[in-house]
Amino acid sequence: MKLGLFIDLDTCVGCHACATACKQWNTSGTIGPLSDERPHGKDPSGSWLNRIHSYEVGDSPHSKTVNIPMSCMHCETADCVTVCPTGASYKREEDGIVLIDQDKCMGCNLCSWACPYGARELDPDSGTMKKCTLCVDRIYDEQLPEAERQPACVLTCPTSSRVFGDFDDPDSQVSKLTRERAGQQLMPELGYNPVNTYLPPRNPKQQDSIAVSPMQGVRQLVNRIINR
């Protein structure tokens, strides 16, 4: 199995619901609390496992706002795991999820240096590295109804921009969507083979910004005469 997320950049509205749902679930999850510094102060900071960046792509008037949620990509070539000196970071053989054993981490930060996607953040309180677990404590929980055995970010996404699934299964929804809409990896040239796949926005309809329809031309002419 190659579990991961598929994120549709066409429909993501950048509401940060996935990030807050993630923090809410994981702060009482398997990796212990995700602590904050000065949560009610002027410059609150803390460890988050998911962050959303917003970009302007293209030049006005043909530009577009694109929101890119970033969490662990559960890379196939996960350098964060190989650089770890203590064996705290590991990648699960059975489903490819990259996890950190909080009892073994010595907080040397080297794995965060090795990660190109900024997926790992040092918890200011515990002094250990924290990262996305793909909600490993939800997706296999047989106490939950089957529809809820998904990561918290996926369940909460109001626009269904996030899909969770097995990229090894050619018939899974994530594999189909990746095929049909040419899903792509971020920064593929570094060779980490990230599993999480991003669907680029659909091409916008090309509009000629100065073309004026005949009706509009007449209306403008009438307006000009009235104004005079």
Site string for other proteins, 110-139 (x = CB under 8 A): x-xxxxxxx--xx-x-xxx-----------
Q: What is the distance between the alpha carbons of residues 104 and 106, in angstroms, rounded to a whole number?
A: 6
Residue number with CB closer to other proteins (154 or 199) = 199
Options 84, 135, 153, 195; binder of other proteins; rule CB under 8 A: 84
Closest to other proteins by CB, 120 or 138 = 120
* Distance separating alpha carbons of residues 127 and 88, to the nearest angstrom: 13
Closest to 161 in 3D by CA, of 2, 3, 14: 14
The Cβ-side half-sphere exposure at 120, using a 13 Å CA radius, reads 26
**15, 20, 33, 68: which one binds other proteins (CB under 8 A):** 68
Q: Looking at 108-116, 168-176, 204-212, 220-228, which segment touches other proteins (CB under 8 A)?
A: 108-116
In the complex with other proteins, which residue's Cβ is closer, 2 or 14? 14
Question: Prior bond to 188 cis, omega within 30?
Answer: no
The contacts of residue 15 (CB under 8 Å, 6+ apart) are 158
Q: Residue 33 CB, nearest distance to other proteins (Å)?
A: 15
Q: Cβ of residue 173: shortest distance to other proteins, in angstroms?
A: 21
Candidates 45-53, 91-99, 210-218, 219-227 — which segment interacts with other proteins by CB under 8 A?
45-53
Whole-Å CA distances, 92 to 3, 75, 108, 169, 181 = 10, 11, 22, 17, 29
End-to-end C-alpha distance for the chain, whole angstroms: 73
- The interface region with other proteins, picked from 78-86, 135-143, 172-180, 212-220 by CB under 8 A, is 78-86
Asked whether position 40 contacts other proteins by CB under 8 A, the answer is no
- Residue 127, Ramachandran bin (φ over 0: left; ψ between -120 and 50: alpha; else beta): left
Q: Which residue has the tokens 């950048």?
A: 14
Binding residues for other proteins, rule: CB under 8 A, are: 14, 16, 19, 42-45, 47-48, 51-59, 65-66, 68, 70, 79, 81-88, 103-110, 112-118, 121-122, 124, 126-128, 184-192, 198, 200
